Structures are given as structure tokens and as C-alpha cells.
Amino acid sequence: MKQSLSRCNHLATINRPTTKKKSAKRCIVEVIVPHTIDSTLIVLPMISSLTQQTSERWITWVTHRTPNKQYLLNNGAKLDKLRIVHVTKYSDVRWITCQALVQNNSHTVVAEQDDWSDGDINLLESAGIKGNTQGIAITTSEG
């Protein structure tokens, strides 16, 4: 597994410009995973680590995948701190992610979608600020 992760050193994290003032709190990070890499190599260790860092609020994972429970357990994930929202339609990802961010019962919301538009990121930012919740938007790049 470590060898697989070492191939991922060219992953990019970007912050998209928003219409908010520079002093506004940023709460959404977009992680772009090259399409040649299985994003679970990034997401599962991230989820495991996040569940170990929080004690009062959930880590919410919005995903179309079936989670690998054994992998999460083997990597120290605290499953009692993880809330998985399984979506079957990509069209639901944005709405569900916004709802999870605004509810103020998650420390961090991790959401996967093939592509997040600038408008999507702005909506997530607004919801995260309102709910005092951090978000990680994961997408796959074409290039």
C-alpha cells in the first residue's frame, strides 16, 4: 500500500477563487486526483486519520463507493466517529454535501464527485461557513 501511495506525490490541492472577501474564512479544500490513480488510495487513509483527530463531531463521508470497512479498521479509523452517506445518483452529491456542511454536526465533510464546478465550490463554502464545518471536495482530473 505504501508503494501505491508514493506514486501519488503529484496530486494537486487547489483553492479556487471565490466572490468572498480575502478576509473570509476558507473552509473547503479541493483535492484533485489524476484519473490514472484510484482515489481510494487517498480517501481511505484521509478518512482514517480524520476520525482519529476529532472527538465531539462526526467525520461525514459522502460517497458513491462501498466503503472498505476492514481497511478503515486496519488503519485505525474510529468507526463510531464516521458517518457514511451513500449516494446512488451523482446529482444528489452536491445537495447532500451542502446539507451535511450546514448542519453543524460534522467536524469535516469529505465528498467525492467527478467534477466540482466553481459554483459548486462556492455553494460548499457558503454552507461550510454557515455550519462552521470544514469540507474536502475530491475530484478526478482528466489530464
List pLDDT tens digits, range 23-57: 456 899 999 999 888 888 899 999 999 999 967 88
Tell me, what DSSP letter sits at residue 93?
A: H
* 1 or 43, higher pLDDT: 43
Domains and CATH numbers, the chain: 2-15+24-141 (3.40.50.300)
HEC sequence for 50-89: HHHHCCCCEEEEEECCCCCHHHHHHCCCCHHHEEEEECCC
How high is the pLDDT of residue 70?
A: 93
Which pTM was predicted?
Answer: 0.80
Rounded to an integer, the average pLDDT of 107-116 is: 92
